[in-house]
């Protein structure tokens, strides 16, 4: 698929089948992600790949996190939360390394990892995979970060819910670049 076609066709898609994504396809996405530009070549991206029991465990951590934030929740609410990671057969959680030396800035690391995520999204589009990028309160929770192997002060910038699409949404036209651009010839 041509890169412009992938860019223009890509849209969030939360309607995802439960069919497993083959390991080779997951590796293709990760390989695309790490081609992103990054200042000082620090490779600040960290990926946690969750399938099967990994999703069950993430659900338990989500539920524990929710219970911490809102004590006294009914069991049904916690069960619903526990099921959230199963909205796709695969989640790639994406973390950002803290700068390891003074010349490296945190915001630039976040920018580089965001670029990696976009590479992954476009690669998924080319592979016929649906992706839904989610964050929410879970992404800020120290328990969730710890479970994924991230430090408490590391940014967790994405839960990429990935799988084969149940339906493929028609891309809605986007506002143009014109009112966001000044030409300085």
Ligand X SMILES: Cc1cc2nc3c(=O)[nH]c(=O)nc-3n(C[C@H](O)[C@H](O)[C@H](O)COP(=O)(O)O)c2cc1C
Region of 89-97, 127-135, 144-152, 175-183 interacting with ligand X (CB under 6 A): 127-135
| Residue 133 binds ligand X, judged by CB under 6 A | yes
**To which residue do tokens 């790639």 refer?**
92
Region of 16-24, 27-35, 41-49, 134-142 interacting with ligand X (CB under 6 A): 134-142
CB closer to ligand X, 21 vs 158: 158
**Could you tell me the smallest distance in angstroms from the CB atom of residue 134 to ligand X?**
4
| Residue 11 binds ligand X, judged by CB under 6 A | yes
Both ends of the chain: CA-CA distance in Å? 34
Strands across the sheet containing 45-50: 45-50, 90-96, 155-163, 130-134
Max Cα distance, the chain (Å):
62
Which structure tokens are listed for 89? 């057969």
Region of 17-25, 53-61, 99-107, 129-137 interacting with ligand X (CB under 6 A): 129-137
> What DSSP line would sit under 17-52, residue for residue?
--PPPPHHHHHHHHHHHTTS--GGG---EEEEEE-H
Which of 135, 137, 142, 149 touches ligand X (CB under 6 A)? 135
| Residue 168 binds ligand X, judged by CB under 6 A | no
Q: Which residues bind ligand X (CB under 6 A)?
A: 11-12, 133-136, 157
């Amino acid at each position: 698929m041509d890169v412009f076609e992938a860019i223009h066709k890509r849209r969030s898609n939360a309607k995802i089948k439960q069919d497993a994504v083959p390991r080779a396809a997951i590796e293709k996405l990760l390989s695309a992600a790490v081609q992103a530009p990054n200042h000082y070549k620090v490779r600040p991206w960290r990926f946690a790949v969750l399938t099967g029991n990994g999703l069950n465990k993430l659900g338990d951590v989500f539920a524990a996190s929710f219970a911490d934030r809102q004590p006294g929740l009914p069991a049904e609410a916690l069960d619903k939360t526990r099921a959230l990671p199963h909205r796709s057969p695969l989640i790639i959680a994406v973390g950002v390394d803290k700068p390891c030396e003074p010349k490296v800035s945190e915001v630039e690391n976040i920018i580089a990892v965001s670029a990696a995520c976009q590479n992954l999204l476009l690669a998924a589009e080319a592979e016929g995979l649906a992706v839904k990028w989610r964050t929410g309160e879970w992404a800020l929770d120290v328990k969730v970060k710890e479970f994924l192997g991230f430090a408490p002060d590391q940014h967790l910038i994405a839960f990429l819910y990935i799988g084969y699409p149940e339906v493929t949404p028609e891309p809605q036209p986007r506002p143009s670049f014109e009112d966001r651009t000044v030409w300085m010839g």
